[in-house]
Structure 1
Amino acid sequence: MQKVFIFLLFSFSLLQEPVAQAQSSAARGDVYVDKQGVLRWQKGRQEVALFGVNYTTPFAYSYRAHRRLGVSPEQAIEQDVYHLARLGVDAFRVHVWDVEITDTVGNLLENEHLRLLDFLVGRLKEHGIKIILTPIAYWGNGYPEPDTAMTGFSSIYDKGQAYTNPRAVAAQERYLTQFLNHRNTYTKQLNRQDPDIIAFEVCNEPRYHEPAAQVTAFANRMAAAIRNTGCRKPVFYNIAENPRVHEAILNAKVDGITYQWYPEGLVGGHTLHGNFLPYVDQYPIPYRQDKRFASKAKMVYEFESADILQPIMYPAMARSFRAAGFQWATQFAYDPLAIAYANTEYQTHYLNLAYTPSKALSLLIAGQVFRQVKRGQQTAAYPADSTFGAFRISYREQLSEMNTPEAFYYTSNTRTQPQKPAALRHVAGVGSSPVVRYGGTGAYFLDQLAPGVWRLEVMPDAVQVADPFAQTSLQRTVTRIEWNPQPLRISLADLGPQFTMRGLNKGNAAQAQATNGEAVVRPGVYLLAAPQRNTTAWTAQTRVGALLLGEFVAPAPTVADLQVLHEPYPQVAAGQPLRLTAKVVGLAPTDSVLLVAQHYYGRTQTLPMQRIAYPSFEATVPAELLYPGLLRYWIVVKQKGRTTTFPGSFAGSPRQWDYAHPEHWETAIVPAAAPLPLFTAATDQDQVELGRIGEGSYADYVTSPATGALAVRLIGKPQAGTDVASNTPAMCLRTYFGDKVQGRRQDMLDVKELVLTGAASQAGTTVQVVLVTKDAAAYATTITLGTNRQTMRVPLADFRPAPLLLSPRPYPSFLPLTFQPATQPPVLRLADAEVLQVVLPAAPAARHVDIESVQLR
């Protein structure tokens, strides 16, 4: 069970630049939509640009999980809203689970869920965070569990009935009326009058079909129910979920329209790897030239780079949103601190300041992108758009950064020099930079209180110990929290190299003086001061805006045993020294780590492993042990007279005569001429994405009738009007192989051909084979398969530049399916290739292909 370190009362908003902007917007009053479809503040008439998250603790699974773990939902909300403010969030949206706060005829129930929503609204208001509520969700409350204890109209009317059944329509009208007139228990304001609830989206992701007139009539009736309460706030309506009847919503009497973005689909079942920046290069809307579209405000109610931990997607998405004209965007969904260790709320989403620090810092940067990039501002296509204004995004460095005279934010190690070091007032980062060199993995924040006086906040170390996007459970920790002392070096001119450091948060009595700008810190809040600066006026109880300086929220250390995390290479090159790395978590400073390496039944060596950067260790296996064959190895940790061996976490050492555990890691040692596997159906089922493009198409795993070997079957269903020679895809196999070939990078220089083993249901069936580089440049060739199992060889010289198929398919479905860079190298550079796609084109008749393996030779 996760515990939380300290209870939170107030917000740290005025010291953080983005949230300070949100605070200044609080006095602007309500918003309105002008005749050009621009959302503006009533006071000052400036354009609105708000960026944030969805968050669900008052409802459904999140509420039940907190109760199950014995965590107060009120305390959880306090803590999470603090972190949201720390990340510069100034927008909050949630689809309210009407099924939990209504009865079957639409009467509002004054219950625990509604009270907690009131509580959340009150805390958001204190932090200057603006709110758009979606009163009708149409969802059951179970996911990922079965539905339970539902009382509302959505428990008896599904989405299809919601707008066609007169009783369902009447229930929604009654509910909207009562919800808008509900008086918040904490703020004492009616929902329809609260100046911080700036708009309402009628319903979440409805499901409509033709005739369009019925859809328009329902939308108008719901909007009228809101306006009949006396509410004059903008009314938004979802248009993206039902693109075939988008005309119905364009014709509706609503002020704004709402969209979502899941650029690489949802629920992949594992972490996606590779360069997905082309997937978020633009957000083109097909009817954007329509005058009805132009007259309505645009809102992104949900977005996410699902199944991706890379800290580069949010800033790119924010830029594309602004180019498309959006003025509000809220990620779905921020993970509550108390359950983020397991990522059980929504398996395909994962975002939390403590548990995903780099991704969280990318949200901070994305918020700044959203506010600084002008609405409708266009940029060049990827990769030229990786640097714009104060921002830089790099897939190869896994880095997003913002660099302005006053603020320097980064998601991972960077060598970028701050624009004006002496002018800096805010620094936030993960890893090291020219301003801060830090040995931990958590996020940190530096904010100037006065010249020579800074507030430092350091989050604990976060170490991923399992795939967060695989099957989840509250009994399965995916990210481990460690409260380690870590070295810190700060280079700020007004602090100097001998600044003093004093702990401020509860239980933090640290007192230290830096030497050459260096000190050791544990998680917490510190007051830093230049020599001779009198800091007696700055205490934990000093209030700056809504903040007490000593406030701090972080999860307690994970209660778990020693862990060693390592993935072996499938193959390594013979005759070459091999560097092996592993993450080791739960060590004391006096512990030691060893690698025991053995050529199968041959010579065995014990090698010390060296710490390279927390929490990683490495050792190099000498070339003399790497002649062709099989390398077996173990990692041994010695702790105060106790010896533990991994894999398996067994007592003792594999070099002891009575060590009886067969578990070990192994990798094949192969000569340079051996094939390099890119995909093997028998072993890679959990490492591939099988994207359905054509309607009704799907994939399965089968065995070859000739050999019994396992193959993935790509099944294309009939697509009317499709030419056999068309490149329109039906199915796509995508796999990231960058890690597979890492142990044989030198051998790739001599590769001449690609080899595919498979068969088709019809003679003459073609598949497109695509190799994609780290820079997302695609190179393709076509292979023709017969009905008998065969091995097809294609020279690498046959691969030509081609559009990149965006698979898994982006959602909504009107988004582009391919990406073509303005320029790319004419010849494939194999050393940069890391993704394989095998694409089955659509056809007028059903057919399939079976792919056993794809190799390089």
Structure 2
Amino acid sequence: MRPSRSALVLCLAACAAAARSGHAQPATRAAYVDPAGVIRWRDTRAEVALFGANYTLASASDFRAAGYLALDRKRLVDEDLAQMARMGWDGIRLALWGDWENTDRAGNLLANEHLDLLDYALAKARERGIYVLLSPIQTYQATWPDALGDTTSPGFSRFYKKETLGTDPAAIAAQVNYIRQLLNHVNPYTRTAIKDEPAILFVEMINEPAHHSADVAGSVRYIDALVDAVRSTGCTKITFHNVSQDFAIARAIRRSKVQGATFGWYPTGLNSGHELRGSYLRAVDDYPPMRDTTLAGLPRIVYEFDSADLRTGYMYPAMVRTMRSVGAQFAAMFAYDMLETASRNLGWQTHHLNLVYTPRKAMSAVIAAEAMRRLPRGRGWGPYPANTRFGDFRVSAEENLGELAAPDAFLYTGDTKTAPPNAATLRRIAGVGSSPVVQYDGAGIYFLDKVRDGVWRLEVYPDAVPVRDPFEMPSPDKIVTRAVSHAWPMTVRLPDLGATFAAEPITPGGTTARAVDGRFTVTPGVYVLAASGRVDRASLPATIGHLGFDEFHAPPADTMGARVEPLGIVEGPMERVADRAIDIAARVATTTPPSAVTLWVRPTGSWFRRFPMLPDGAYRYRATIPAGTLGAGTYDYAISVQCGEAACGDLLTTFPEGAHQTPWQWNFGAQRFWPLRVVSPETPLRLFAPGVDAARLALTRIGDAGRQGQFRVVPSSATGAPAFHLERPMARGGPGDYTASLVVTERVAARGDAIAGARALVLRARALGSGQTVHVTLVERDGTAWSTAIALDSAWTERAIPLADLRPARWAMLPEGFPGEWNYWASPPAGRGGAGDAIRLPDVERLQLSLRREPNETTTGPYGVEVESVWLAFR
């Protein structure tokens, strides 16, 4: 049963002070562009600085995703807009595939469910105080990726190719007609024409068009036709045109009637097909395209951005730091996952963000919204790692952490030892994990808002428990993250609450408690914490910010059975060092704590031994096998989970196969196990095995396309083992380099302190022709790279390079940022790579194999390499 919903408030604070007071206003303020090209609020003349996300429920794959699960789409809007308000967001981009789904060939507006959902979302955004960038034409096929066979879309983009939308007179006429009719359309939920909707500040008439930048005059005519369509309705909203599909279009934008330029930014690329590992802070030091002097004096907004294929807690604040430094006044992440589909990451495979299901990443977006408001526009913060502290903010890839520690607000994305400047002045606390102010054992996000001295509102969300990679191909039947409601202890240490405050539930399901030394137990929901004991409900405000005081949107109930996921493995066998204690950890996702978790280990083909696994944090269990117990060799292991509830009949399940017996039972028939290798400290450490690793490589982009590269895995002509066949593209401009990059952090870490004994980097490979060269590079976490060039011919050979012979070098930041090519090369940070410096093996994060344009090169045929293996040798 869903928690009750109170009446919704109609607003977002006009400024931070209003938000902190609990009083909010609807999104009804007007904005203008001043002579310097700065967007300002008309009432206060203050600069506009808005942060949020794209929301695409009205159209395309998100619209269908809700249908796959038979969900009430308007209820989804209510829930999702409430979550955005809870996160402190004040901006949203409403993207409508009107050119596909709610027009005809001539651009006449069709009144259907897509338009109705846009109307409804606009009404709710206004109520929640969230300002809108309206984007009514998307150009990309609305049926992508799950309905490509559907040919029933009525809109004009089905009849005109994207490349002709800016040149074909009939296509331009259809766009003009559609824009006029949409802006004149009266929203039945607000009784306001779209052109007059106060929540809409910006209109980007067409998203990511095919630019014809060589035809400046023609491009200007096209842009002006779209602007004139807007102005012909009497609409005075600030108009924008996309620049980042072809940065050369800036000349036409500069000469046109449009008021500003929109940019997209994906510094980790798109569509890797799996969750990325490693640090990506070096990729967000700068975004030079937004500093194009051609656009000087025009406002800049970021219509979509993301740290795609990541769930980290540090990227969003760092990205906003850079966006503010280059002048952005609005930024919208693409795209927010609806609460009731987020468990499956339906809709957009490479993106994943939801308050409940990605709490660490969501908390980083909460902090990013504050960074947008608090950081000055135009100020630079220097290169990494000096820019990991900016104002009251801090980011750390090593800790997977983003923070805001300000006098009024303390926000953090994971466990932190940072203390706020003054706990007595705090008005807002939010986080995941524990801090000096709040200790929490659960795995969900929580918010504390001060009501008055001695009274705080606490909001706690369910635990988010990952069960599989969310960036694989999605399916309505495949859950990637579970939301589990569980009781956990929480300790709150605030001066005005004291140590024995009362915790009283506001939403159903909670239990009234009295804190002991600040410690009490919570389940998901809303509570009032009061130093004086019970609080008269009538004395509480009806709203807190843009939420009803008792408003809480819980996710659907979790009904999935137990799942177990080993930790510390990317691909291939887990590796541990012999003669040392061996730790094996796993995430055990169950709705109630299991009564027992057991690790079973056997030498391959032999008998199992068992070891108890003990709790090691929320849903984490760990077993320690004493040193000397397992000698060097190959092993199989499994994990048994005993249900902790009488209702399940004490059911026992053994993973990975899901058998309902243990390996010691006579009828145990499981055939699948996880592999474990126990090695001596001097066993070569394999960094690259093509048969296992090829799918996780990041490659230099060819042109401005996706990640697919010029490689394949082939049988070695010498041994038959899988070999990585990499060819340099024959027609490639850009940096004159073609690189394959692999994150090897987990493999290096698994060797522990024995990694210090490595002496050489070894490559078994051959070239595709005579006299060809491959560059092999090891990159440390801080961006210091060590490289060597190895000349090869067509015969298979094994080449060992002493680590002492590696030299400091630049390296390729992969996945490559998108769109454009603006940050390919990276060099060691200040203070590294000079005389006396040497490689720090425990910090090695990436292995890179590169093909480059070599001096005096005469090759006319295929240029490349086949690699069987790369490893570190210890002798």
Question: TM-score higher than 0.5 here?
Answer: yes
1:679 and 2:688 aligned: yes
User: In the alignment, residue 598 of structure 2 is paired with which amino acid?
Assistant: L
SS of the residue corresponding to residue 650 of structure 1 reads coil
1:636 and 2:624 aligned: no
Aligned to 1:725: none
Residues 346-370 of structure 1 show CA distances to partners (whole Å, capped at 9, x for unaligned) of 0000000000001001001011111
| 2-structure distance, mates of 1:673, 1:811 | 41
Query: Structure 1: any 5+ residue segments left out of the alignment?
Result: 723-727
> Contact 1:12/1:86 (CA < 8 Å) preserved in 2?
no
| 2-structure distance, mates of 1:26, 1:838 | 54
> Contact 1:297/1:326 (CA < 8 Å) preserved in 2?
yes
Q: Percent identity?
A: 37
Task: Point out 4+ residue stretches in structure 1 off by more than 6 angstroms.
Answer: 12-16, 21-25, 694-697
Aligned to 2:19: 20
1:704 and 2:702 aligned: no
Residues 490-526 of structure 1 show CA distances to partners (whole Å, capped at 9, x for unaligned) of 1111111111111111x23521111111111110001
Deviation at residue 674 of structure 1 after TM alignment: 1.4
Deviation at residue 802 of structure 1 after TM alignment: 2.1
Query: For 1:174, which of 172, 177, 181 is the aligned residue?
Result: 177
| 2-structure distance, mates of 1:458, 1:369 | 23
Aligned to 1:668: 677
Query: For 1:823, which of 831, 838, 844 is the aligned residue?
Result: 831
SS of the residue corresponding to residue 192 of structure 1 reads helix
In the superposition, the TM-score normalised over structure 2's length comes to: 0.93
Is the deviation greater in 647-656 or in 116-125? Answer: 647-656
The within-5 A match list for 1:10-409 is: 10-11=8-9, 20=19, 29-98=29-98, 99-147=100-148, 148=150, 149-209=152-212, 210-285=214-289, 288-290=292-294, 293-409=295-411
| 2-structure distance, mates of 1:848, 1:695 | 22
SS of the residue corresponding to residue 580 of structure 1 reads strand
| 1-structure distance, mates of 2:822, 2:25 | 33
Deviation at residue 534 of structure 1 after TM alignment: 4.1
Residues 319-351 of structure 1 show CA distances to partners (whole Å, capped at 9, x for unaligned) of 000111111111100111111111121000000
Deviation at residue 224 of structure 1 after TM alignment: 1.2
Query: For 1:423, which of 411, 422, 425 is the aligned residue?
Result: 425
User: In the alignment, residue 847 of structure 1 is paired with which amino acid?
Assistant: Y
Mark the CA change 1:564 to 1:546 in structure 2 (over 3 Å): closer, same or farther: closer
SS of the residue corresponding to residue 203 of structure 2 reads strand
SS of the residue corresponding to residue 193 of structure 2 reads coil
User: In the alignment, residue 564 of structure 1 is paired with which amino acid?
Assistant: V
Mark the CA change 1:543 to 1:86 in structure 2 (over 3 Å): closer, same or farther: closer
| 1-structure distance, mates of 2:633, 2:840 | 29
Residues 386-419 of structure 1 show CA distances to partners (whole Å, capped at 9, x for unaligned) of 0111001011111000011111000000011111
Aligned to 1:490: 492
Deviation at residue 667 of structure 1 after TM alignment: 1.2
> Contact 1:597/1:621 (CA < 8 Å) preserved in 2?
no
Is the deviation greater in 601-610 or in 521-530? Answer: 601-610
| 2-structure distance, mates of 1:836, 1:769 | 7
Is the deviation greater in 228-237 or in 580-589? Answer: 580-589
Query: For 2:730, which of 718, 726, 729 is the aligned residue?
Result: 718
| 1-structure distance, mates of 2:355, 2:10 | 15
| 2-structure distance, mates of 1:672, 1:441 | 36
SS of the residue corresponding to residue 746 of structure 2 reads coil
Deviation at residue 600 of structure 1 after TM alignment: 3.7
| 1-structure distance, mates of 2:604, 2:204 | 64
| 2-structure distance, mates of 1:638, 1:544 | 43
1:656 and 2:658 aligned: no
Alignment length (residue pairs): 846
| 1-structure distance, mates of 2:733, 2:744 | 35
Query: For 1:594, which of 587, 598, 605 is the aligned residue?
Result: 598
> Contact 2:502/2:515 (CA < 8 Å) preserved in 1?
yes
| 1-structure distance, mates of 2:5, 2:143 | 29
The within-5 A match list for 1:522-601 is: 522-532=523-533, 534-538=535-539, 542-544=542-544, 547-567=547-567, 569-586=573-590, 588-589=592-593, 591-600=595-604
| 2-structure distance, mates of 1:720, 1:17 | 49
> Contact 1:693/1:732 (CA < 8 Å) preserved in 2?
no
Residues 811-833 of structure 1 show CA distances to partners (whole Å, capped at 9, x for unaligned) of 12142211233332532101111
Is the deviation greater in 97-106 or in 837-846? Answer: 837-846
Mark the CA change 1:4 to 1:472 in structure 2 (over 3 Å): closer, same or farther: farther
Deviation at residue 544 of structure 1 after TM alignment: 4.8
User: In the alignment, residue 680 of structure 2 is paired with which amino acid?
Assistant: P
| 2-structure distance, mates of 1:465, 1:701 | 29
- Aligned residues: CA RMSD: 2.3
| 1-structure distance, mates of 2:531, 2:539 | 14
User: In the alignment, residue 225 of structure 1 is paired with which amino acid?
Assistant: A
Aligned to 1:606: 610
Deviation at residue 546 of structure 1 after TM alignment: 5.2
Residues 231-251 of structure 1 show CA distances to partners (whole Å, capped at 9, x for unaligned) of 222210001101244322222
Deviation at residue 687 of structure 1 after TM alignment: 2.5
> Contact 2:414/2:433 (CA < 8 Å) preserved in 1?
yes
> Contact 1:462/1:480 (CA < 8 Å) preserved in 2?
yes
| 2-structure distance, mates of 1:14, 1:32 | 19
User: In the alignment, residue 108 of structure 1 is paired with which amino acid?
Assistant: L
User: In the alignment, residue 852 of structure 2 is paired with which amino acid?
Assistant: P
> Contact 1:780/1:801 (CA < 8 Å) preserved in 2?
yes
1:847 and 2:863 aligned: yes
Mark the CA change 1:66 to 1:433 in structure 2 (over 3 Å): closer, same or farther: same
Query: Structure 2: any 5+ residue segments left out of the alignment?
Result: 644-648
Residues 606-663 of structure 1 show CA distances to partners (whole Å, capped at 9, x for unaligned) of 2211101010011111223221112222212233643321221111110223322222
SS of the residue corresponding to residue 220 of structure 2 reads helix
| 2-structure distance, mates of 1:546, 1:313 | 26
> Contact 1:276/1:776 (CA < 8 Å) preserved in 2?
no
User: In the alignment, residue 207 of structure 2 is paired with which amino acid?
Assistant: N
User: In the alignment, residue 96 of structure 1 is paired with which amino acid?
Assistant: L
1:834 and 2:834 aligned: no
Mark the CA change 1:160 to 1:721 in structure 2 (over 3 Å): closer, same or farther: closer
Deviation at residue 81 of structure 1 after TM alignment: 0.3
Is the deviation greater in 617-626 or in 307-316? Answer: 617-626
1:804 and 2:805 aligned: no
Is the deviation greater in 794-803 or in 400-409? Answer: 794-803
User: In the alignment, residue 155 of structure 1 is paired with which amino acid?
Assistant: R
In the superposition, the TM-score normalised over structure 1's length comes to: 0.95
> Contact 1:599/1:625 (CA < 8 Å) preserved in 2?
no
Deviation at residue 8 of structure 1 after TM alignment: 6.7
The within-5 A match list for 1:424-439 is: 424-439=426-441
Aligned to 1:443: 445
Mark the CA change 1:250 to 1:842 in structure 2 (over 3 Å): closer, same or farther: farther
Deviation at residue 713 of structure 1 after TM alignment: 1.9
| 2-structure distance, mates of 1:370, 1:721 | 36
SS of the residue corresponding to residue 368 of structure 1 reads helix
> Contact 1:361/1:411 (CA < 8 Å) preserved in 2?
yes
